[in-house]
Structure 1
């Protein structure tokens, strides 16, 4: 499912609200996970974004449910 970069899908809300640079970083995180895994990728990858205004950073948490990975 994640073995190619040809067909990639995101929700309309993410496409409208998340900057392209962050979207590309998320795809990079998925690509890294694919390289490390042995076919254990859930079809639904979850990203949580937490903005830290004090440090002016965004923390990204990448996880999946089956098999669990964070």
Structure 2
């Protein structure tokens, strides 16, 4: 699989998000991102905590 050219708009968005989250804890960052996902994609999002201190944001389904 080859990688395409970086999308400047997407890179700018990630840079802005990184700047916003730089002084937040990982959980605060996950909450902020999950809220953004709700705004953009709708639906419900779940934050999964992992023992290594990381958090994953996953789409909630009724089948869970």
Length-normalised TM-score, structure 1: 0.33
Larger Rg: 2
Structure with the larger helix share: 2
Length-normalised TM-score, structure 2: 0.35
Structure with the larger strand share: 1
